[in-house]
Amino acid sequence: MDIPQYLFLDFEFTMPETKTEPNGFCPEIIEVGLVAVVAEQIVNQFSAYVKPLRFPQLTDRCKSFLNITQEQIDSGISFYELVTLLRQYDRERPTTVVTWGSMDMKVLRENCQSAQVAFPFTGEHRDLALEYKRFFGNKNQTALRKAVQEYGNEGIGNAHCALDDAFTAYTIFRLIENDKKYLVKTKPPTLGERIDFTQLRKKFAL
């Protein structure tokens, strides 16, 4: 049986010029970063810019916020190539996709529906931000970089760089998983393990 893999995935999206989204606007994936982990070892990583289908021209606000250029996007892979790549990862071995928040999978699903292509993943999806919130009992969802700083670490590379954020998600995933192991209650010893009955029998045999 194939050893399962974790796929730490991060996308960056298009943005409208104003915070009030115009009619018909929907966010589209324009950058992908992924880190594939098998048996706690990084086995692959990938990053690329992605050409949006519906709104190919980036807004100034998007370019400024993400520090990205129109030329970078124009030379990126197509959305169909992205879906094919993700599907290949999913088919290689049982795959659990891990993202920080639910937005990545939501936009991927909406983009697939818009492009009339099948959603590439068939396995489990774990929302690490939600797990972090529940684990620490927080009322609000914590930003990725702030969460890793709360552990006394710094995020990998630059925020809003898809591959750097994917690596940062993997970093905090390992920290949380280690904390969970510490909190697992050990099985209480049985009465037989607590008491040496051999010595008791000798004592009462006297």
Q: Specify whether 31 is catalytic.
A: no
- Closest to 160 (Cα-Cα) out of 144, 181, 180: 144
Ramachandran quadrant class, 107 (left: phi over 0; alpha: psi -120 to 50; beta: rest)? alpha
One-letter amino acid at 126 equals R
Residue listed under structure tokens 């993202």: 99
What whole-number distance in Å separates Cα of residue 101 and Cα of residue 34? 15
How many Cβ atoms are within 10 Å of 114's Cβ, its own excluded?
13
Report residue 108 as tokens. Answer: 């991927």
Spot the catalytic one: 92, 110, 131, 160: 160
List 12, 71, 92, 150, catalytic entry: 12
d(CA 188, CA 22): 60
Given a contact cutoff of 8 angstroms between Cβ atoms, the answer to whether 17 and 60 are in contact is yes
3-state secondary structure of 171: helix
User: Active site includes 12?
Assistant: yes
Q: Which residues are marked as active site? A: 12, 160
